[in-house]
Amino acid sequence: MSHRMPMRAHRSNFDNLQSEKHFAAMQAYGQSKLANVLFTYELARRLEGSGVTANALHPGFVATGFARNNGALYNFGMKLIGPFIRQPDQGAQTSIYLASSPRGGRDYREILCRLQSR
């Protein structure tokens, strides 16, 4: 579900990018993730043909303590799903692979396509 969140933010109010008029935590999070992806697309476009790649990725649901201050109900839910969340060293593997692969994101996209087709 979290990987779909940034796409929901496409309805963001660009007159309120800093959330000064209204703040919704998950909308702000999704908007920031969408901004990261859009920035990476533009950077990749500008770097095209230079031999430099630009990649954006989502490492999956990783136990980093993110949003730990969201209240008792959220904390209870996190304890329930805790055993299914990737540990930080596991979550880092995605970034490490992407950064160290000689082919850049091409290998990563191929692996994702294979995993999603299973």
Interatomic CA distance for residues 77 and 17, integer angstroms: 29
Q: For residue 51, give both structure tokens.
A: 């031999």
**Which of 29, 41, 74, 97 does the annotation list as catalytic?**
29
Q: Give the domain ranges of the chain.
A: 1-56
Q: For residue 98, give both structure tokens.
A: 């992407």
Nearest to 32 by CA among 61, 65, 56, 48: 56
What global pTM score does this model have?
Answer: 0.64
Q: What is the pLDDT of residues 26-83, one digit of tens each?
A: 788 888 888 888 898 899 899 989 988 888 888 888 888 876 777 888 888 888 888 8
29 labelled catalytic? yes
Measure CA 52 to chain center.
Answer: 21
